[in-house]
Amino acid sequence: MALQDKYQELITAATASAVNNLQVREQDGVLYIDGEAPDGKTKDMLWAVYDKLDPNFLSGDLVMNINVAVSAPVTRAKVTTERSNLNIRKGPGTDQPIVGKAAHHEVVTVVSQSSDLWWLIRTADGEEGYAYAQYLTPES
Amino acid sequence: MKKLLTSMSLTGLLIMAIGFTSCKGKLKDADIKTAIEAALKADPMAAGTMVEVKDGVATLTGECKDEMCKNLCAEIAGKVKGVKSVVNNCSVAPPPAAPVINPEDDVLTKALTDALKDHAGMGFAVKEGKIVLTGEIAKAKWAMLKQTLDKLKSKGYDLTGLTIK
């Protein structure tokens, strides 16, 4: 329960901002907070509260998996890498062969979001495969 | 003296008569409430349920752990003498959250390889389900990376070897 006290402000903020399916569980000394934020702003706010309570997230005692709710399935996404191209792979994993590349800031079609980490995408050139979701920003 | 006694006994009779009539009509709500409370308390499953009684109608409130417990409370209250009907407003507690499923170390290692591919200069390992990170990383990148890593549902982190620039 001590961890819930430490992160009480975060739990309260999540409850107050209408995070859906909010689940707070403590297991083996780690607090897990899962849920679906109504928008990206709420998610960012919660990460800011987390950063405040545990500067730089360095304690390692909280695993916060907050996704942003999607009202409609994402069909288009922008490649938001720092500056490089985004690898498109045959399967979901960096051990999978590269089958193509999506340019920095190129808008691609999202075919499937079967996993949180890897999305199946298709480029305008027709290249299709898996790309790391962290570098894809949904376009409305 | 005799007169006094007669009048006293008469008064006594009168009081008793009043007492009887009120008993005969119906049980007092407060008495029913006490009786229900005692009955509920007797069952460990139903204890903790609160009750209000008005005109013989018992209204139950509080939290039950499941549907069975909720029905049991109503059954107990319904059996109490004087209860005309039971309004069951007990809520059922949501089922306890399922435990977190932590991935196997090799699954976690593979996912970490993917997540850290573009973070050259950082070292990582998986130790008993925990993610161990070493090296240096810029704050902005770390904030983004931590969000990705939290999707992996590890058993927490060992970040003692990590420096945030």
Q: What is the pLDDT of residue A53?
A: 96
Q: Note whether A134 contacts B156, CB cutoff 8 Å.
A: no
pLDDT band per the 50, 70, 90 thresholds, residue B2 = low
For A97-113, b/e burial (b = at least 16 CB within 10 A) is eeebbbeeebebebeeb
* Structural domains in chain A, sorted by start: 2-68 (3.30.460.10), 76-139 (2.30.30.40)
Q: Backbone phi, then psi, for A138, in 5-degree steps?
A: -60, 140
Of the candidates A117, A55, A89, the one whose C-alpha atom is nearest the C-alpha of residue B153 is A117
Determine the 3-state secondary structure of B87 from DSSP.
strand
Chain A residues 73-112 within an 8 A CB cutoff of chain B: 93-95
Predicted confidence band of residue B19 (pLDDT cuts 50, 70, 90): very low
Share of chain B above pLDDT 70, in %: 83
Among A49, A63, A90, pick the best mutation site for testing chain B contact (most B Cβ within 10 A).
A63
ipTM tops the 0.95 cut = no
Spatial neighbors of B52 by CB under 8 A, at least 6 apart, are: B33, B58, B59, B61
What per-residue confidence (pLDDT) applies to B114? 92
Which residues does B94 contact at the CB level (< 8 Å), separation at least 6? none
Return the pLDDT at A37: 93
Q: Which of A55-59, B23-27, B112-116 has the lowest mean pLDDT?
A: B23-27
In this structure, chain A runs to a length of 140
Residue B21 above 50 pLDDT? no
What Cα–Cα distance (Å) separates residue B65 from each residue in B83, B95, B152?
24, 8, 32
CB B114 within 8 A of CB A117: yes
Residues of chain A scoring pLDDT < 50 = none
The answer, yes or no, to whether residue B9 has pLDDT greater than 80, is no
Sheet holding B50-54, edge to edge: B50-54, B57-61, B85-88
Which residues in chain B are contacts of A117 at CB distance < 8 A?
A: 111, 114-115, 148, 151
Q: What is chain B's alpha carbon radius of gyration, rounded to the nearest angstrom?
A: 34
Instruction: For residue B92, name the pLDDT band (cuts at 50, 70, 90).
Output: confident
Contact between A30 and A62 (Cβ < 8 Å): yes
| pLDDT of A1 | 59
Residue A113's pLDDT is 85
A117 touches chain B (CB under 8 A): yes
Residue B53 has pLDDT above 50, yes or no: yes
Of A27, A116, A134, the CB nearest to B99: A27
Could you give the domains of chain B? 25-92 (3.30.1340.30), 105-164 (3.30.70)
pLDDT at B6 > cutoff 80: no
Q: Is A38 exposed, middle or buried (0-12, 13-18, 19+ CB in 10 A)?
A: middle
- CB-based contact B159 A51, cutoff 8 Å: no
